Structure 1
Amino acid sequence: MKTPADASETVTGTQLLDRAVAVLRFLGAAGQQGATITEITEALHFKQSTAHRITTALERHALIDREQSTKRYRLGLALFAMGAAAADGTGLRQLARPAVLRLSAETGDTTFLMARAGFNAVCVDRQDGGYIIDTLTGHVGGQIPMGVGPASQAILAFLPTTEAEVILDTNYPLFQRYPNLTRKTITDSMHSIRERGYAVDEGSLVEGISAVAVPILPRGRDAIAAIALNMTSARLSQERLPGLVAMLRREAKSLEDSLNPLEGAFATRGMGH
Protein backbone atom coordinates (compact mmCIF):
# COMPACT_ATOMS: atom_id res chain seq x y z
CA MET A 1 0.00 0.00 0.00
CA LYS A 2 1.37 3.42 -0.93
CA THR A 3 1.96 6.04 1.70
CA PRO A 4 0.69 9.60 1.08
CA ALA A 5 4.26 10.64 0.22
CA ASP A 6 4.38 7.96 -2.49
CA ALA A 7 0.96 8.65 -3.97
CA SER A 8 2.35 10.50 -6.96
CA GLU A 9 5.64 10.73 -8.84
CA THR A 10 4.97 14.42 -9.40
CA VAL A 11 6.06 16.55 -6.46
CA THR A 12 5.90 20.30 -6.92
CA GLY A 13 5.25 23.54 -5.09
CA THR A 14 4.23 23.31 -1.45
CA GLN A 15 4.65 19.52 -1.37
CA LEU A 16 8.27 19.78 -2.46
CA LEU A 17 8.98 22.52 0.08
CA ASP A 18 7.35 20.50 2.87
CA ARG A 19 9.46 17.47 1.99
CA ALA A 20 12.67 19.48 1.81
CA VAL A 21 11.92 20.84 5.28
CA ALA A 22 11.24 17.28 6.48
CA VAL A 23 14.69 16.23 5.23
CA LEU A 24 16.33 19.14 7.05
CA ARG A 25 14.48 18.31 10.27
CA PHE A 26 15.41 14.64 9.98
CA LEU A 27 19.09 15.44 9.46
CA GLY A 28 18.96 17.93 12.31
CA ALA A 29 17.72 15.18 14.62
CA ALA A 30 20.37 12.79 13.26
CA GLY A 31 23.11 15.18 14.35
CA GLN A 32 26.77 14.42 13.66
CA GLN A 33 25.92 10.84 12.75
CA GLY A 34 24.06 12.02 9.68
CA ALA A 35 22.01 9.70 7.45
CA THR A 36 22.27 7.89 4.15
CA ILE A 37 19.87 8.43 1.29
CA THR A 38 18.32 5.04 2.09
CA GLU A 39 17.73 6.04 5.72
CA ILE A 40 16.16 9.32 4.62
CA THR A 41 13.94 7.55 2.08
CA GLU A 42 12.72 4.94 4.56
CA ALA A 43 12.24 7.28 7.50
CA LEU A 44 10.25 9.86 5.53
CA HIS A 45 8.44 7.38 3.25
CA PHE A 46 9.68 9.06 0.09
CA LYS A 47 10.24 7.50 -3.28
CA GLN A 48 13.98 7.23 -3.84
CA SER A 49 13.78 9.50 -6.87
CA THR A 50 12.07 12.18 -4.76
CA ALA A 51 14.67 11.85 -1.99
CA HIS A 52 17.50 12.13 -4.51
CA ARG A 53 15.96 15.20 -6.13
CA ILE A 54 15.52 16.96 -2.79
CA THR A 55 18.94 16.09 -1.36
CA THR A 56 20.65 17.12 -4.59
CA ALA A 57 18.96 20.53 -4.48
CA LEU A 58 19.73 21.02 -0.79
CA GLU A 59 23.36 20.00 -1.33
CA ARG A 60 23.66 22.41 -4.27
CA HIS A 61 22.66 25.27 -1.97
CA ALA A 62 25.05 24.04 0.79
CA LEU A 63 22.11 23.46 3.13
CA ILE A 64 23.30 19.87 3.54
CA ASP A 65 26.66 18.21 2.96
CA ARG A 66 27.50 14.67 1.86
CA GLU A 67 30.62 12.93 3.14
CA GLN A 68 32.24 11.26 0.17
CA SER A 69 33.65 8.25 2.03
CA THR A 70 30.44 7.26 3.86
CA LYS A 71 27.81 8.88 1.59
CA ARG A 72 26.10 10.21 4.73
CA TYR A 73 24.31 13.55 4.68
CA ARG A 74 24.54 16.17 7.43
CA LEU A 75 23.28 19.72 7.81
CA GLY A 76 25.49 22.15 5.91
CA LEU A 77 27.35 25.32 6.86
CA ALA A 78 24.95 27.56 4.93
CA LEU A 79 22.12 26.40 7.17
CA PHE A 80 24.29 27.01 10.23
CA ALA A 81 25.02 30.54 9.03
CA MET A 82 21.31 31.24 8.51
CA GLY A 83 20.56 29.85 11.95
CA ALA A 84 23.16 32.09 13.54
CA ALA A 85 21.74 35.08 11.64
CA ALA A 86 18.24 34.20 12.82
CA ALA A 87 19.45 33.97 16.40
CA ASP A 88 21.06 37.39 16.13
CA GLY A 89 17.91 38.71 14.48
CA THR A 90 15.79 37.93 17.54
CA GLY A 91 18.14 39.98 19.70
CA LEU A 92 18.26 37.14 22.24
CA ARG A 93 21.81 36.05 21.49
CA GLN A 94 23.21 39.56 21.64
CA LEU A 95 21.25 40.31 24.81
CA ALA A 96 22.35 37.11 26.54
CA ARG A 97 26.02 37.16 25.48
CA PRO A 98 27.28 38.92 28.66
CA ALA A 99 25.37 36.42 30.83
CA VAL A 100 26.84 33.47 28.93
CA LEU A 101 30.35 34.88 29.35
CA ARG A 102 29.85 35.64 33.05
CA LEU A 103 28.60 32.16 33.87
CA SER A 104 31.50 30.43 32.15
CA ALA A 105 34.02 32.77 33.80
CA GLU A 106 32.50 32.33 37.27
CA THR A 107 32.05 28.56 37.12
CA GLY A 108 34.75 27.34 34.75
CA ASP A 109 32.06 25.24 33.06
CA THR A 110 30.48 25.37 29.60
CA THR A 111 27.45 27.65 29.26
CA PHE A 112 24.69 27.14 26.71
CA LEU A 113 21.85 29.38 25.57
CA MET A 114 19.16 27.17 24.07
CA ALA A 115 16.02 28.43 22.29
CA ARG A 116 12.95 26.59 21.09
CA ALA A 117 12.51 26.18 17.33
CA GLY A 118 9.33 24.23 16.68
CA PHE A 119 9.84 20.64 17.83
CA ASN A 120 13.55 21.21 18.47
CA ALA A 121 15.79 23.17 20.82
CA VAL A 122 18.61 25.04 19.07
CA CYS A 123 21.94 26.12 20.54
CA VAL A 124 21.87 29.91 20.11
CA ASP A 125 25.13 30.56 21.95
CA ARG A 126 27.86 28.62 23.72
CA GLN A 127 30.90 29.52 25.76
CA ASP A 128 33.39 26.87 26.84
CA GLY A 129 34.77 26.96 30.35
CA GLY A 130 38.21 25.92 31.46
CA TYR A 131 38.00 22.55 29.73
CA ILE A 132 36.30 21.02 26.67
CA ILE A 133 33.46 18.54 27.11
CA ASP A 134 31.31 16.42 24.80
CA THR A 135 27.75 17.72 24.39
CA LEU A 136 24.59 16.69 22.57
CA THR A 137 24.23 19.88 20.51
CA GLY A 138 27.90 20.54 19.81
CA HIS A 139 28.41 23.92 18.16
CA VAL A 140 26.18 26.99 17.89
CA GLY A 141 23.33 26.08 15.55
CA GLY A 142 23.24 22.46 16.71
CA GLN A 143 19.83 21.16 17.69
CA ILE A 144 18.17 18.37 19.65
CA PRO A 145 14.54 17.23 19.88
CA MET A 146 12.52 19.03 22.53
CA GLY A 147 12.49 16.79 25.59
CA VAL A 148 16.13 15.74 25.28
CA GLY A 149 18.44 17.26 27.88
CA PRO A 150 17.81 19.66 30.78
CA ALA A 151 17.72 22.85 28.70
CA SER A 152 14.94 21.67 26.39
CA GLN A 153 13.09 20.06 29.31
CA ALA A 154 13.25 23.36 31.22
CA ILE A 155 11.53 25.03 28.25
CA LEU A 156 9.05 22.20 27.73
CA ALA A 157 7.96 22.17 31.37
CA PHE A 158 6.75 25.77 31.14
CA LEU A 159 4.80 25.48 27.89
CA PRO A 160 0.99 25.03 27.92
CA THR A 161 0.19 21.41 28.75
CA THR A 162 -1.59 20.65 25.47
CA GLU A 163 1.29 22.10 23.45
CA ALA A 164 3.85 20.12 25.43
CA GLU A 165 1.85 16.94 24.84
CA VAL A 166 1.86 17.50 21.07
CA ILE A 167 5.63 17.99 21.13
CA LEU A 168 6.17 14.81 23.15
CA ASP A 169 3.81 12.81 20.92
CA THR A 170 5.73 13.98 17.85
CA ASN A 171 9.24 13.51 19.23
CA TYR A 172 8.86 10.29 21.20
CA PRO A 173 10.15 8.04 18.36
CA LEU A 174 13.43 9.99 18.54
CA PHE A 175 13.90 9.41 22.26
CA GLN A 176 14.99 5.81 21.74
CA ARG A 177 18.32 7.12 20.42
CA TYR A 178 19.18 8.37 23.88
CA PRO A 179 19.91 6.13 26.88
CA ASN A 180 17.51 6.15 29.82
CA LEU A 181 15.12 8.52 28.04
CA THR A 182 11.46 7.75 27.37
CA ARG A 183 8.31 9.77 26.99
CA LYS A 184 7.31 8.70 30.52
CA THR A 185 10.57 9.76 32.15
CA ILE A 186 10.24 13.19 30.55
CA THR A 187 6.59 13.56 31.55
CA ASP A 188 7.40 12.48 35.11
CA SER A 189 10.21 15.01 35.37
CA MET A 190 8.16 17.98 34.15
CA HIS A 191 6.22 18.37 37.42
CA SER A 192 9.39 18.52 39.52
CA ILE A 193 10.99 20.95 37.06
CA ARG A 194 8.01 23.30 37.38
CA GLU A 195 8.04 22.91 41.16
CA ARG A 196 11.73 23.63 41.75
CA GLY A 197 12.25 25.91 38.72
CA TYR A 198 15.20 24.11 37.16
CA ALA A 199 16.10 20.90 35.32
CA VAL A 200 19.11 18.72 36.01
CA ASP A 201 20.75 15.67 34.43
CA GLU A 202 23.39 13.80 36.39
CA GLY A 203 25.10 11.92 33.59
CA SER A 204 22.16 9.86 32.30
CA LEU A 205 22.33 11.12 28.69
CA VAL A 206 26.06 11.46 28.12
CA GLU A 207 28.12 9.31 30.46
CA GLY A 208 30.24 11.41 32.77
CA ILE A 209 28.61 14.70 31.73
CA SER A 210 26.02 16.50 33.85
CA ALA A 211 24.01 19.66 33.28
CA VAL A 212 21.64 22.04 35.02
CA ALA A 213 19.32 24.53 33.29
CA VAL A 214 16.72 27.17 34.09
CA PRO A 215 14.05 28.55 31.74
CA ILE A 216 13.88 32.13 30.51
CA LEU A 217 10.31 33.29 31.12
CA PRO A 218 9.53 36.84 29.98
CA ARG A 219 6.41 38.22 31.65
CA GLY A 220 3.19 37.15 29.94
CA ARG A 221 4.90 34.69 27.60
CA ASP A 222 5.70 30.99 27.50
CA ALA A 223 9.27 29.81 27.97
CA ILE A 224 11.26 31.04 24.98
CA ALA A 225 14.68 29.72 25.92
CA ALA A 226 16.82 28.26 28.68
CA ILE A 227 20.32 28.89 29.97
CA ALA A 228 22.36 25.89 31.05
CA LEU A 229 25.68 24.85 32.54
CA ASN A 230 27.31 21.61 31.35
CA MET A 231 30.18 20.00 33.26
CA THR A 232 31.82 16.72 34.16
CA SER A 233 29.63 14.79 36.58
CA ALA A 234 32.35 14.93 39.22
CA ARG A 235 31.89 18.72 39.32
CA LEU A 236 28.13 18.62 39.97
CA SER A 237 28.10 17.77 43.66
CA GLN A 238 25.01 18.22 45.82
CA GLU A 239 26.89 20.92 47.70
CA ARG A 240 27.65 22.85 44.52
CA LEU A 241 24.22 22.50 42.84
CA PRO A 242 22.35 25.24 44.82
CA GLY A 243 25.03 27.81 44.00
CA LEU A 244 24.94 26.98 40.29
CA VAL A 245 21.14 27.21 40.25
CA ALA A 246 21.32 30.61 41.99
CA MET A 247 23.76 31.89 39.33
CA LEU A 248 21.56 30.65 36.50
CA ARG A 249 18.44 32.17 38.07
CA ARG A 250 20.22 35.52 38.51
CA GLU A 251 21.14 35.66 34.83
CA ALA A 252 17.74 34.36 33.65
CA LYS A 253 15.95 37.00 35.75
CA SER A 254 18.14 39.74 34.30
CA LEU A 255 17.35 38.55 30.77
CA GLU A 256 13.63 38.37 31.51
CA ASP A 257 13.67 41.95 32.84
CA SER A 258 15.58 43.09 29.75
CA LEU A 259 13.19 41.37 27.34
CA ASN A 260 10.01 42.85 28.83
CA PRO A 261 10.75 46.50 27.94
CA LEU A 262 11.45 45.39 24.37
CA GLU A 263 8.00 43.82 24.26
CA GLY A 264 6.42 47.08 25.35
CA ALA A 265 8.38 49.08 22.80
CA PHE A 266 7.32 46.78 19.97
CA ALA A 267 3.70 46.89 21.09
CA THR A 268 3.72 50.70 21.25
CA ARG A 269 5.36 50.93 17.85
CA GLY A 270 2.70 48.64 16.39
CA MET A 271 -0.13 50.74 17.79
CA GLY A 272 1.34 53.86 16.25
CA HIS A 273 0.98 52.55 12.68
Structure 2
Amino acid sequence: MKETGPKTFRRGLQIMEVLRTAGDDGLRITDIAAITGIQRTTVYRFLDVLIAHDYVKPTADMRTFVFNHCRFAGGPTIAHSIDRLKPVLARISAQTGDSSFLVRRENGDSLCVHRELGSYPVQVLSVTIGHKQPMGVGAAGLALLANLPKEDIRQILDLNRSRLPTFGGMTCEQMETLIRSTLERGWSAVGNAAVPGVLGVGVPIPQRSGHPTFAISVSSVMDRMPLKRQRFIVELIKKELALIS
Protein backbone atom coordinates (compact mmCIF):
# COMPACT_ATOMS: atom_id res chain seq x y z
CA MET A 1 0.00 0.00 0.00
CA LYS A 2 1.36 3.38 -0.98
CA GLU A 3 2.31 5.64 1.95
CA THR A 4 0.56 8.98 2.19
CA GLY A 5 -0.06 11.75 4.69
CA PRO A 6 1.56 12.30 8.08
CA LYS A 7 3.20 8.85 8.21
CA THR A 8 5.17 9.57 5.04
CA PHE A 9 6.14 13.02 6.33
CA ARG A 10 7.35 11.58 9.64
CA ARG A 11 9.52 9.02 7.87
CA GLY A 12 11.10 11.66 5.69
CA LEU A 13 11.89 13.75 8.76
CA GLN A 14 13.27 10.68 10.51
CA ILE A 15 15.72 10.00 7.68
CA MET A 16 16.78 13.65 7.61
CA GLU A 17 17.36 13.64 11.37
CA VAL A 18 19.58 10.54 11.42
CA LEU A 19 21.66 12.01 8.59
CA ARG A 20 21.88 15.36 10.38
CA THR A 21 23.22 13.74 13.55
CA ALA A 22 25.58 11.45 11.60
CA GLY A 23 27.83 14.39 10.69
CA ASP A 24 30.17 14.79 7.74
CA ASP A 25 30.85 11.05 7.32
CA GLY A 26 27.24 10.36 6.38
CA LEU A 27 25.48 7.02 6.34
CA ARG A 28 24.93 4.16 3.92
CA ILE A 29 21.48 2.97 2.90
CA THR A 30 21.82 -0.07 5.17
CA ASP A 31 22.81 2.16 8.10
CA ILE A 32 19.81 4.43 7.62
CA ALA A 33 17.48 1.44 7.38
CA ALA A 34 18.93 -0.14 10.54
CA ILE A 35 18.71 3.04 12.60
CA THR A 36 15.22 4.10 11.47
CA GLY A 37 13.63 0.69 11.04
CA ILE A 38 12.53 1.74 7.55
CA GLN A 39 12.93 -0.80 4.75
CA ARG A 40 15.84 -0.20 2.39
CA THR A 41 13.61 0.09 -0.68
CA THR A 42 11.61 2.79 1.10
CA VAL A 43 14.81 4.58 2.17
CA TYR A 44 15.86 4.68 -1.49
CA ARG A 45 12.58 6.34 -2.47
CA PHE A 46 12.82 8.95 0.26
CA LEU A 47 16.45 9.73 -0.57
CA ASP A 48 15.54 10.32 -4.22
CA VAL A 49 13.10 13.03 -3.14
CA LEU A 50 15.39 14.54 -0.48
CA ILE A 51 18.30 14.75 -2.92
CA ALA A 52 16.10 16.28 -5.61
CA HIS A 53 15.11 19.05 -3.18
CA ASP A 54 18.70 19.55 -1.91
CA TYR A 55 18.05 18.40 1.67
CA VAL A 56 20.47 15.49 1.33
CA LYS A 57 23.62 15.04 -0.75
CA PRO A 58 25.39 11.87 -1.91
CA THR A 59 29.13 11.66 -1.27
CA ALA A 60 31.59 11.38 -4.15
CA ASP A 61 31.55 7.57 -4.15
CA MET A 62 27.70 7.54 -4.13
CA ARG A 63 27.76 4.97 -1.33
CA THR A 64 26.93 7.25 1.57
CA PHE A 65 24.63 10.22 2.04
CA VAL A 66 25.03 13.40 4.12
CA PHE A 67 22.66 16.02 5.41
CA ASN A 68 22.97 19.31 3.49
CA HIS A 69 23.58 21.78 6.32
CA CYS A 70 23.85 24.63 3.82
CA ARG A 71 20.14 24.21 3.06
CA PHE A 72 19.50 25.50 6.58
CA ALA A 73 22.45 27.88 6.92
CA GLY A 74 20.17 30.88 7.04
CA GLY A 75 17.20 32.66 5.53
CA PRO A 76 16.81 34.22 2.10
CA THR A 77 19.44 36.88 2.81
CA ILE A 78 22.09 34.27 3.61
CA ALA A 79 21.12 32.15 0.61
CA HIS A 80 21.23 35.19 -1.65
CA SER A 81 24.69 36.11 -0.34
CA ILE A 82 26.00 32.61 -1.01
CA ASP A 83 24.65 32.64 -4.57
CA ARG A 84 26.17 36.08 -5.13
CA LEU A 85 29.58 34.93 -3.90
CA LYS A 86 29.80 31.62 -5.76
CA PRO A 87 31.07 33.27 -9.00
CA VAL A 88 33.69 35.13 -6.96
CA LEU A 89 35.10 31.86 -5.66
CA ALA A 90 35.01 30.35 -9.15
CA ARG A 91 37.12 33.22 -10.50
CA ILE A 92 39.56 33.03 -7.58
CA SER A 93 40.13 29.29 -8.05
CA ALA A 94 40.45 29.74 -11.83
CA GLN A 95 43.17 32.37 -11.36
CA THR A 96 45.06 30.66 -8.51
CA GLY A 97 44.59 27.05 -9.53
CA ASP A 98 43.81 26.22 -5.89
CA SER A 99 40.77 25.37 -3.79
CA SER A 100 38.75 28.30 -2.44
CA PHE A 101 36.22 28.19 0.38
CA LEU A 102 33.30 30.34 1.51
CA VAL A 103 32.75 30.09 5.26
CA ARG A 104 30.27 31.57 7.70
CA ARG A 105 30.03 31.57 11.46
CA GLU A 106 27.74 29.10 13.21
CA ASN A 107 27.97 29.69 16.95
CA GLY A 108 31.54 28.70 17.90
CA ASP A 109 32.19 26.91 14.64
CA SER A 110 32.98 27.89 11.09
CA LEU A 111 30.71 26.30 8.47
CA CYS A 112 31.80 25.77 4.87
CA VAL A 113 28.90 26.84 2.65
CA HIS A 114 30.63 26.65 -0.73
CA ARG A 115 33.83 25.28 -2.27
CA GLU A 116 35.51 25.63 -5.65
CA LEU A 117 38.38 23.55 -6.98
CA GLY A 118 41.26 24.80 -9.09
CA SER A 119 43.37 23.28 -11.84
CA TYR A 120 46.49 22.47 -9.81
CA PRO A 121 46.96 18.67 -9.58
CA VAL A 122 46.95 18.65 -5.76
CA GLN A 123 43.72 20.08 -4.32
CA VAL A 124 42.50 20.44 -0.72
CA LEU A 125 39.53 18.05 -0.67
CA SER A 126 39.09 17.25 3.03
CA VAL A 127 37.01 20.38 3.71
CA THR A 128 33.67 19.90 2.00
CA ILE A 129 30.45 21.88 1.84
CA GLY A 130 28.68 21.45 5.18
CA HIS A 131 31.94 20.79 7.05
CA LYS A 132 32.14 22.39 10.50
CA GLN A 133 35.17 22.92 12.70
CA PRO A 134 36.12 25.13 15.66
CA MET A 135 36.32 28.72 14.52
CA GLY A 136 39.92 29.75 13.96
CA VAL A 137 41.58 26.47 13.01
CA GLY A 138 40.96 27.26 9.33
CA ALA A 139 42.02 30.44 7.56
CA ALA A 140 38.51 31.70 6.78
CA GLY A 141 37.30 30.93 10.30
CA LEU A 142 40.31 32.73 11.75
CA ALA A 143 39.57 35.78 9.61
CA LEU A 144 36.04 35.84 11.06
CA LEU A 145 37.13 35.15 14.64
CA ALA A 146 39.75 37.89 14.67
CA ASN A 147 37.15 40.47 13.65
CA LEU A 148 34.71 39.71 16.46
CA PRO A 149 34.48 41.70 19.71
CA LYS A 150 37.02 40.63 22.34
CA GLU A 151 34.28 39.26 24.59
CA ASP A 152 32.94 37.04 21.80
CA ILE A 153 36.45 35.82 21.00
CA ARG A 154 37.01 34.84 24.62
CA GLN A 155 33.70 32.95 24.78
CA ILE A 156 34.46 31.04 21.59
CA LEU A 157 37.96 30.10 22.75
CA ASP A 158 36.56 28.88 26.07
CA LEU A 159 33.89 26.90 24.22
CA ASN A 160 36.44 25.22 21.94
CA ARG A 161 39.29 24.82 24.43
CA SER A 162 39.01 21.02 24.64
CA ARG A 163 38.55 20.61 20.86
CA LEU A 164 41.45 22.72 19.62
CA PRO A 165 44.29 20.27 20.46
CA THR A 166 42.92 17.76 17.92
CA PHE A 167 43.79 20.26 15.18
CA GLY A 168 47.57 20.12 14.96
CA GLY A 169 47.97 20.49 18.74
CA MET A 170 46.41 23.96 18.68
CA THR A 171 45.98 25.76 22.03
CA CYS A 172 43.99 28.83 23.03
CA GLU A 173 47.27 30.69 23.57
CA GLN A 174 48.43 29.87 20.05
CA MET A 175 45.05 30.90 18.70
CA GLU A 176 45.34 34.26 20.45
CA THR A 177 48.73 34.77 18.77
CA LEU A 178 47.18 33.95 15.38
CA ILE A 179 44.38 36.44 16.06
CA ARG A 180 46.85 39.21 16.85
CA SER A 181 48.85 38.43 13.70
CA THR A 182 45.67 38.46 11.63
CA LEU A 183 44.66 41.88 12.91
CA GLU A 184 48.14 43.28 12.34
CA ARG A 185 48.44 42.18 8.71
CA GLY A 186 44.74 42.43 7.79
CA TRP A 187 44.33 38.81 6.68
CA SER A 188 44.75 35.37 8.19
CA ALA A 189 47.22 32.57 7.52
CA VAL A 190 47.03 29.10 9.08
CA GLY A 191 49.15 26.05 8.32
CA ASN A 192 49.12 22.44 9.54
CA ALA A 193 45.98 22.90 11.64
CA ALA A 194 42.69 22.01 9.95
CA VAL A 195 44.52 19.89 7.34
CA PRO A 196 48.13 18.66 7.88
CA GLY A 197 50.57 19.82 5.23
CA VAL A 198 48.24 22.55 4.01
CA LEU A 199 48.37 26.33 4.44
CA GLY A 200 45.44 28.66 3.87
CA VAL A 201 44.97 32.42 3.74
CA GLY A 202 41.67 34.06 4.61
CA VAL A 203 39.96 37.41 4.11
CA PRO A 204 36.77 38.54 5.89
CA ILE A 205 34.02 39.93 3.68
CA PRO A 206 33.21 43.45 4.93
CA GLN A 207 29.66 44.38 5.88
CA ARG A 208 28.19 47.85 5.84
CA SER A 209 27.33 47.46 9.51
CA GLY A 210 28.35 45.01 12.18
CA HIS A 211 30.93 42.28 12.03
CA PRO A 212 31.63 40.09 8.98
CA THR A 213 29.34 37.12 8.43
CA PHE A 214 31.38 35.46 5.69
CA ALA A 215 35.03 34.97 4.85
CA ILE A 216 36.87 33.53 1.85
CA SER A 217 40.00 31.41 2.03
CA VAL A 218 42.33 29.76 -0.45
CA SER A 219 44.32 26.69 0.57
CA SER A 220 47.10 24.64 -0.97
CA VAL A 221 50.09 22.50 -0.01
CA MET A 222 52.69 24.27 2.12
CA ASP A 223 55.40 24.39 -0.57
CA ARG A 224 53.02 26.24 -2.87
CA MET A 225 52.23 29.01 -0.36
CA PRO A 226 55.30 31.20 0.29
CA LEU A 227 54.66 34.65 1.72
CA LYS A 228 54.81 36.37 -1.68
CA ARG A 229 52.10 34.11 -3.08
CA GLN A 230 49.99 34.49 0.06
CA ARG A 231 49.98 38.25 -0.51
CA PHE A 232 49.09 37.80 -4.18
CA ILE A 233 46.12 35.61 -3.28
CA VAL A 234 44.90 38.01 -0.61
CA GLU A 235 45.00 40.93 -3.03
CA LEU A 236 43.17 38.82 -5.61
CA ILE A 237 40.40 38.00 -3.14
CA LYS A 238 40.04 41.68 -2.22
CA LYS A 239 39.98 42.67 -5.89
CA GLU A 240 37.25 40.16 -6.73
CA LEU A 241 35.19 41.23 -3.71
CA ALA A 242 35.52 44.87 -4.75
CA LEU A 243 33.97 44.05 -8.12
CA ILE A 244 30.68 43.03 -6.47
CA SER A 245 30.63 45.53 -3.62
Q: Tell me how far apart the structure 1 counterparts of residues 26 and 65 of structure 2 sit (CA, whole Å).
A: 13
Q: TM-score, normalised by structure 1?
A: 0.63
Q: Tell me how far apart the structure 2 counterparts of residues 252 and 189 of structure 1 sit (CA, whole Å).
A: 24
* Deviation digits for residues 10-66 of structure 1 (CA, Å, limit 9, x no counterpart): xxxxxxxxxxx9x968x65xx5499xxxxxxxxxxxxxxxxxxxx869xx99899xx
The reply on whether 1:206 has 2:195 as its aligned counterpart is yes
Which of 204, 212, 215 is the aligned partner of 2:204? 215
Question: One-letter code of the match for 1:84?
Answer: R
Residue of structure 2 in register with 1:162 after alignment:
151
Q: Tell me how far apart the structure 1 counterparts of residues 220 and 113 of structure 2 sit (CA, whole Å).
A: 18
The reply on whether 1:172 has 2:161 as its aligned counterpart is yes
Identity, in percent, stands at: 26
Which of 60, 70, 88 is the aligned partner of 1:83? 70
What is the deviation of 1:178? 1.2
What is the deviation of 1:180? 3.3
Which of 206, 216, 230 is the aligned partner of 1:241? 230
Residue of structure 1 in register with 2:123 after alignment:
133
Q: Is the 8 A contact 1:201 1:211 kept in 2?
A: yes
Q: Is the 8 A contact 1:84 1:141 kept in 2?
A: no
Q: 1:127 to 1:87 in 2, by over 3 A?
A: farther
Residue of structure 2 in register with 1:195 after alignment:
184
Residue of structure 2 in register with 1:47 after alignment:
none
Q: 1:158 to 1:124 in 2, by over 3 A?
A: same
Residue of structure 2 in register with 1:122 after alignment:
111
Residue of structure 1 in register with 2:218 after alignment:
229
Residue of structure 2 in register with 1:267 after alignment:
none
- Aligned partner of residue 155 in structure 1, secondary structure: helix
Question: One-letter code of the match for 2:117?
Answer: D
What is the deviation of 1:238? 2.4
Residue of structure 1 in register with 2:82 after alignment:
93
Q: Tell me how far apart the structure 2 counterparts of residues 114 and 178 of structure 1 sit (CA, whole Å).
A: 18
Q: Tell me how far apart the structure 2 counterparts of residues 189 and 110 of structure 1 sit (CA, whole Å).
A: 22
Number of residue pairs matched? 197
* Deviation digits for residues 85-105 of structure 1 (CA, Å, limit 9, x no counterpart): 546831121110111011011
Q: Structure 1 regions of 5+ residues with no counterpart?
A: 1-20, 35-54, 65-74, 258-273
What is the deviation of 1:202? 3.3
Q: Tell me how far apart the structure 1 counterparts of residues 101 and 172 of structure 2 sit (CA, whole Å).
A: 24
Q: Tell me how far apart the structure 2 counterparts of residues 252 and 243 of structure 1 sit (CA, whole Å).
A: 14
Question: One-letter code of the match for 1:133?
Answer: Q
Q: Tell me how far apart the structure 2 counterparts of residues 132 and 93 of structure 1 sit (CA, whole Å).
A: 26
Q: 1:33 to 1:233 in 2, by over 3 A?
A: farther
Cα RMSD (Å): 3.0
Q: 1:99 to 1:202 in 2, by over 3 A?
A: same
What is the deviation of 1:250? 1.8
Residue of structure 2 in register with 1:108 after alignment:
97
Q: Tell me how far apart the structure 2 counterparts of residues 210 and 220 of structure 1 sit (CA, whole Å).
A: 30
Q: Is the 8 A contact 2:137 2:193 kept in 1?
A: no
Q: Is the 8 A contact 2:167 2:193 kept in 1?
A: no
- Aligned partner of residue 166 in structure 2, secondary structure: coil
- Aligned partner of residue 240 in structure 1, secondary structure: helix
Question: One-letter code of the match for 1:152?
Answer: G
- Aligned partner of residue 217 in structure 1, secondary structure: coil
Q: 1:214 to 1:140 in 2, by over 3 A?
A: same
Residue of structure 2 in register with 1:150 after alignment:
139
Q: Which runs of 4+ in 1 moved over 3 A?
A: 31-34, 60-64, 84-89, 202-205, 252-255
